[in-house]
Structure 1
Amino acid sequence: MGNVDYMYPSTNVEDSPHRVEIPPPQPFIKTLKSSLKETFFPDDPLRPFKNQPASRKFVLGFQYFFPILEWAPRYTLDFLKSDLISGITIASLAIPQGISYAKLANLPPILGLYSSFVPPLIYAMMGSSRDLAVGTVAVASLLTASMLGAEVNAAENPTLYLHLAFTATFFAGVFQASLGLLRLGFIVDFLSHATIVGFMAGAATVVCLQQLKGILGLNNFTHGTDLVSVMRSVFSQTHEWRWESGVLGCLFLFFLLTTKYFSKKKPKFFWISAMAPLTSVILGSVLVYLTHAEKHGVQVIGNLKKGINPLSFGDLVFVSPYLTTAFKTGVITGIIALAEGIAVGRSFSMFKNYHIDGNKEMIAIGMMNIAGSCTSCYLTTGPFSRSAVNYNAGCKTAMSNVIMAIAMMFTLLFLTPLFHYTPLVVLSAIIIAAMLGLIDYEAAIHLWKVDKFDFVVCMSAYIGVVFSSVQNGLVLAVAISVMRVLLFVARPRTFILGNLPNSMDYRNVDQYQSASNVPGILILEIDAPIYFANTNYLRERITRWINDEEDRIKSAGESSLQYVILDMSAVANIDTSGISMLDEVKKLVDRRGLQLVLANPGGEVMKKMNKSELIEKIGQQWIYLTVAEAVAACKFMLHTTKPNPIKDQEPGAWNNV
């Protein structure tokens, strides 16, 4: 059975069963409005407001910014039981993590507890995720210490450093909320999966290295975060190492990793891993108290101030020369916090089959950081570890954050003196145990197997963070990712299409080995929109395909090339440079005695070709709906017209045109 062909009595487009139509003209304002809507409002947030009375629109508007007004009326006692267990469980994790991460940020430990009180209350009212547990995170804490520490020494000027941390948190919140209000959340999408994997692993490695100070009981330590600086600082002070601190740290680290491994193997015992950090703090504090280890080189937290968050609005710094530092720190840490919080929220929402609004999340996270900066908190988001515990504990709504905040308030009012003897080495062990989970080597191996370029992006982020700095590693990874996107735009793929046996389907001959070339016809597919950045490349690439095909025909002794078909199915849009490129290709094939044929150009392409009068130059009869119809028409013409005598006599002479 041979190939199935369309046979038309002529190449006139009117005789074809279908024709490529030009979209009706649209006013520029309407087109611009549609483009802006798709860019900034792809989720159509105004849809629930349509055909609603004014009073209902008012209620829906409040519910949009405060989702608690939507789910609170339906809240039940069963929900409260589940959220109560989840809230208490994550509070037990939030206390040691909060203290540990505040120390990592070179901030007073009490700020870690403050930051788990006010922000969760704000998020519970404004957030759209049921599973996100709000709190401080290690990566943002490290970034805060690294970027602010480059300008102000936390030990020499703790008050200014603290005020800059509040100011950076304020700018982070304003930036995050602005992204949500202005519908600019797609900016976060520039942090690709490969970038996040490498960045998180690098940041986790750096955080673990920083904890050598606490594990070894060192008093002086480098302010640098890169591997070389840390190793130089550690091994230049071997005489300062405290074996008591090291033994205690290794024991608690072993305990934490063992409980984590057990809970991973037995998911129903997740609470064992969740309670392990607080258990370590209690055991460490009791051990130090009974043995007076603080007198033998084991550093302790010391006094923690009782009482809930004092106001800090008056402490924000909006004057030079530190304003730029606070702003830059806020923007960078804000982006990282958004990326982590939204990614974690979306991950758990998929498990429970509900939707979270990315722009709502940005507004909620931004507002809780603005409120936090005014109430003695530093940057917070939705950390994966705490959210995973919240999810596994069976939370039903964001009320679990409220329960956690209440537990934190109780701790701040009554329990802070109990943490006086908590050894810093235990906090270091808690941080290391949490950070090891962020080094996702399996994801890196998967990237290597699937996409080598993504692996390069991942490793660039990792190496940049570990050997330079956290911010430099992030910038490097984002730059490589953006460069890759630009390469995709500037160097789009083009393929030769061939006919699959016994069908009218045309596919890439490199992918489908059984696809065969059509004699006298070259079929090319352009696999991207045509913009100014790729027009020169496409023109040269099409010319090269034609040259290669004519050389192949000459060496094989086949009939000469007569038609060049461009499959434009994947060309969603085209600019004026692209129109000029097609015009030049048309002139090129005319000089070679060939005929240019277009297959399935999209609506935007047809509209611009019509306005530029390119359709008249190509000939509307040479524009077809499918490749199969274009090939059938070309075959018909090959059978009914005389061959080109110049092409038959001098097939190679046209290669120089």
Structure 2
Amino acid sequence: MRADLHHEQSHEVDSHIKNPSTKWVLNSPDPPGFCQHIFGSIKKTVFPQRNNARSSSSSQKKESHCERIIVVLSSVFPVLIWGRKYTASKFKNDLISGLTLASLSIPQSIGYAALANLAPQYGLYGSVIPPLIYSVMGTSQELAIGPVAVVSLLISSMISKLVDPVADPVSYMKLVFTVTFFTGTFQALFGLLRLGFLIDFLSHAAIVGFMAGAAIVIGLQQMKSLLGISHFTTKTDVVSVLDAVIKSFHTSWYPLNFVIGCSFLIFILITRFIGKRNKKLFWLPAISPVISVILSTLIVYLTRADEHGVKIIKHFKGGLNPSSLNQLEFNGPHLGEAAKAGFICAIIALTEAVAVGRSFASIKGYNLDGNKEMLAMGCMNLAGSMSSCYVSTGSFSRTAVNFSAGCQSTVSNIVMAITVFISLQLLTKLLYYTPLAILASIILSALPGLIDYNEAYHIWKVDKMDFLACIGAFFGVLFASVEIGLLVAVCVSFGRLILNAIRPGIEELGRLPGTDIFCDKAQYPGVLDVPGISIIRLNSGSFCFANANPIKEKITKCVTEENVKEVAKKPITGIILDMSSVISIDSSGIIALEEMYKKLVSRNIHLAIANPRWKVIHKLKIAGFVEKVGSDCIFLTVNEAVDACLGTKSIGVSNC
């Protein structure tokens, strides 16, 4: 009945429309509803559209059905697409890349596990299962998967407030796995529902500041291992860490740890400098952490330096990733906090991985599917939470090494995972005498890449508000906590959005001489006014409760001022609202339009609306606004609206 009524009303409206192009605006189909939008998003991610020709025979129908299954599987597992073209020559490159990657991943993963207050094996576990899953589901050829410094710091800072990792390591570990489960769940949902825009709420400027602050905090945290301090603060702010370091000088610190750590840190930085100067020696900085681990372990073992205050790893468990499914806690007292931590980790991990993946994809000239990346990240972290892994994501330093080594596909991740797995089986006992100071030096060597001075300066030059978000995140992480730094950055970004929404600009348009183009008077001072008509463009994507009244007041004030100016000439008799920039409108915006219309009519000023977007005109029709003002007040272009207001009869259909 409603459809028939709407159909009849549309025909009735058509009969009264004089301008043919207005029919194109008013008779546009209804946009998809909320449920259609959600299910459509899932369908686009999991069930890609494919036009198959219909056939009458049953055998062809079965074949078509099988093909659809293959298409669906290929969309979830991209390996089914690129795997068909995989060659032996590509495997040779991936083998070298994977082995080079493993040489960097093993010492880094052990160090990042320590940063997350976990035993060394948990860092290595995270470099086995997650990379294997990503290799069949991910769309990036270069992205190297495993634990990273920033997420390890997030895990440590947020969960240590709930459970003490020293006093109750079992409960701490269970909470880490639960947070990893929630991280994977959120990431998978982001991919399925195509909610990639959520990670964009952390602007580029905020990420730059956050990474720089996190790098300094991570570096200060390494002072515990670099100085051989037994008791250290669990807080992450710079004041607490520096206070703990100063106090340790008067109590318990061992200079040998500092000597070993700094010596190998210098060695790693020198190899990195050589690798940058000579691209053919890219493998040198990649294997320098492993060389450092081997040499420092031999030195400690031969000199028995552990008996003279040098802190060592000691024994840690190796072997296959044990199941942690029974350690996930969904009925504990910290479930809400675990979900919150999982959401934050999901956003940060995705932001880093997608940014790194897109950077290297652009170099090779292919597109990275953000939604599939989120789905792949979610699945690998879900599986990781059930196999004793904590949150894994794409690492910038390891991805750069993978790219430099000439990787051709995600097979390099498989090679790395197998190599790390073999190391877990055979090398754990050999790492008994590895000094903790060497792990600290490996982490410290990776931190300069997180601090981008040039980008921060560029942000300052381009946009001061963006720089405010940058330094807000930086000082928030540095002097408060990781969560506070993120909160400050998000608040500044949201504050900017809200400010722009509440105080949107309106542009007065004029005709470019000799054309039918209408431009902003402020940007193009030479444009011509249309006598008796004021053309106003709403410079906002949304006409809603937050900005409806300010927009209405600005337009009314603008018209009043124009009338005062033009009283000696020709007064304003028509207002044209160019709504080409407005993509959404709510009930408050419609009410503001109605009030504006009534106020203008009372002053004998006509209102015309030009180029309303799909959702906008749909809501204006539903709300009855079109019936109130009349269909002759709706136009496809500003030029047609001007011609109508000036009384021109020859109005044709314009292409837009």
- TM-score of Structure 1 vs Structure 2, range by shorter chain: 0.7 to 0.9
Counterpart position of 2:99? 88
Given candidates 107, 113, 118, the residue that maps to 1:102 is: 113
- Name the structure 1 match of 2:231: 220
1:236 counterpart SS class: helix
Q: How does 1:95-244 map to 2 (within 5 A)?
A: 95-239=106-250, 240-244=252-256
- Equivalent of 1:541 in 547, 554, 575: 554
Instruction: Show structure 1 runs of 5+ residues with no match.
Output: 1-12, 638-657
Residues 458-505 of structure 1 show CA distances to partners (whole Å, capped at 9, x for unaligned) of 221111111111112112222332333333333322111123333332
- Kindly tell me: are residues 174 and 624 of structure 1, through their superposed partners in 2, closer, same or farther at Cα, counting changes over 3 Å? closer
Q: Is the 8 A contact 1:147 1:329 kept in 2?
A: yes
Match 2:448 to one of 426, 436, 447: 436
Residues 87-96 or 350-359, more deviating:
350-359
Segments of 5+ residues of structure 2 without an aligned counterpart are 1-15, 54-62, 649-656
Q: Summarize the Cα distance change of 1:324–1:584 in structure 2 as closer, same or farther, 3 Å threshold.
A: closer
Name the amino acid aligned to 1:550: N
C-alpha spacing 1:496/1:407, structure 2 compared with 1 (3 Å): same
CA shift at 1:81, angstroms? 0.1
CA distance in 1, matches of 2:370, 2:414: 22
Q: Is the 8 A contact 1:164 1:317 kept in 2?
A: yes
Q: Relative to structure 2, which stretch is displaced further, 436-445 or 256-265?
A: 256-265
Q: 1:38 to 1:230 in 2, by over 3 A?
A: same
Distance 1:407 1:561 in 2: 78
Larger displacement relative to structure 2 (13-22 or 126-135): 13-22
TM-score by length of 2: 0.88
Residue 337 (structure 1) aligned to one of 339, 349, 355: 349
The question of whether the paired residues in 2 share the 8 Å contact of 1:19 and 1:624 is answered with yes
Q: Which amino acid aligns with 2:563?
A: E
3-state secondary structure, aligned to 1:308: coil
Q: Who is 1:488 aligned against?
A: 500
Shift of 1:27: 6.5
CA distance 1:165–1:576, shift in 2 (3 Å):
closer
Counterpart in the other structure of 1:466: 478
AA aligned opposite 1:299? K
SS at match of 2:536: strand
Cα deviation 1:207-247 (Å, max 9, x = unaligned): 11111212222111111001111111111222234333223
Q: Which residue of 2 aligns with 1:24?
A: 27
Alpha-carbon distance in structure 2 between the residues aligned to 1:321 and 1:248: 43
Q: CA offsets, 1:310-363, max 9 Å, x none?
A: 333233334422434433333322332222222222322222233333333223
Q: Which residue of 2 aligns with 1:67?
A: 78
The answer to whether the 8 A contact 2:41-2:192 is kept is no
Distance 1:470 1:611 in 2: 47
Q: Specify the SS of the correspondent of 1:321.
A: coil
Equivalent residues of 1:22, 1:607 under 8 A apart: no
Equivalent position to 1:526, from 538, 541, 544 = 538
Pairwise CA RMSD: 2.7
User: Residues 544 and 320 (structure 1 numbering): CA distance in 2 closer, same or farther, change over 3 Å?
Assistant: same
The residue aligned with 1:8 is none
Q: Distance in 2 between the 1:543 and 1:346 partners?
A: 46
Paired with 2:358 and 2:217, the residues of 1 have a C-alpha distance of 27
TM value normalised by structure 1: 0.88
Aligned partners of 1:20 and 1:600 also within 8 Å:
no
**What do residues 24-73 of structure 1 show as CA deviations (whole Å, max 9, x unaligned)?**
37578x55565446666666942147557111122223323333233333
| Stretch of structure 1 that moved more, 540-549 or 609-618 | 609-618
Structure 1: how far apart are the matches of 2:46 and 2:387? 35
What is the 5 A alignment of 1:382-397?
A: 382-397=394-409
Q: 2:177 corresponds to which letter in structure 1?
A: F
| Whole-Å separation in 1 of the counterparts to 2:189 and 2:616 | 35
**Letter aligned with residue 540 of structure 1:** E
**Which of 621, 637, 645 is residue 626 of structure 1 equivalent to?**
637
Change (3 A) 1:306 1:567: closer
Change (3 A) 1:636 1:306: closer
Query: In structure 2, what is the equivalent of residue 53 of structure 1?
Result: 64
Instruction: Between 410-419 and 46-55, report the one with greater CA deviation.
Output: 46-55
Secondary structure at 1:525 match in 2:
strand
Code of the aligned partner of 1:46: P
In the TM superposition, 1:198-347 aligns within 5 A as 198-239=209-250, 240-347=252-359
- Once residues 444 and 194 of structure 2 are traced to their aligned partners in structure 1, the CA distance between those partners, rounded to angstroms, is 37
Classify the secondary structure of the residue corresponding to 1:522. strand
- State the identity as a percent: 45
Deviates more, 1:89-98 or 1:478-487: 478-487
Q: What is the CA distance between 1:452 and its match in structure 2? A: 1.7
Amino acid at match of 1:431: I
- Is 1:359 the counterpart of 2:371 in the alignment? yes
* Distance (whole Å) between structure 2 residues aligned to residue 493 and residue 517 of structure 1: 20
Q: Closer, same or farther in 2 for the Cα pair 1:207/1:592, shift >3 Å? A: same
- Alignment partner of 1:497: what SS? strand
Q: Distance in 2 between matches of 1:281 and 1:202?
A: 28
Does the Cα contact within 8 Å between 2:22 and 2:631 map onto a contact in 1?
no
The residue that corresponds to 2:570 in the other structure is 559
Give the secondary structure class of the aligned counterpart of 1:46: coil
- Secondary structure of 2:561's counterpart equals helix
In 2, Cα distance between equivalents of 1:311 and 1:104: 23
CA distance in 1, matches of 2:374, 2:622: 42
Contact 2:131 / 2:417 at 8 angstroms: preserved in 1?
yes
- SS state at 1:494 partner: strand
Is contact 1:20-1:624 (8 Å) kept? no
Distance 1:25 1:516, change over 3 A: closer
CA contact (8 A) 2:188 2:379 kept: yes
Q: Is the 8 A contact 2:584 2:615 kept in 1?
A: yes
- State the AA in 2 paired with 1:543: T
Change (3 A) 1:560 1:313: closer
Q: CA deviation at 1:181?
A: 3.5
Cα offset, 1:540, TM superposition: 0.7
How far residue 182 of structure 1 moved from its aligned partner, in angstroms, is 4.1
Q: How many equivalent residue pairs?
A: 623
* Counterpart in the other structure of 1:479: 491
- 3-state DSSP of counterpart to 1:523: strand
Could you say which residue in structure 2 is the equivalent of 1:7? none
Distance 2:157 2:240 in 1: 13
Q: Deviations over 1:491-530 (max 9, x none)?
A: 3221111233333322111112222433432221112232
Helix, strand or coil at the partner of 2:292: helix
CA distance in 1, matches of 2:301, 2:377: 39
Listed as ranges, the matches of 1:418-429 within 5 Å are 418-429=430-441
Tell me the residue number matched to 1:642. Answer: none
SS of the counterpart of 1:303?
A: coil
Q: Displacement, 1:400?
A: 0.8
- Comparing 309-318 with 225-234, greater Cα deviation is found at 309-318
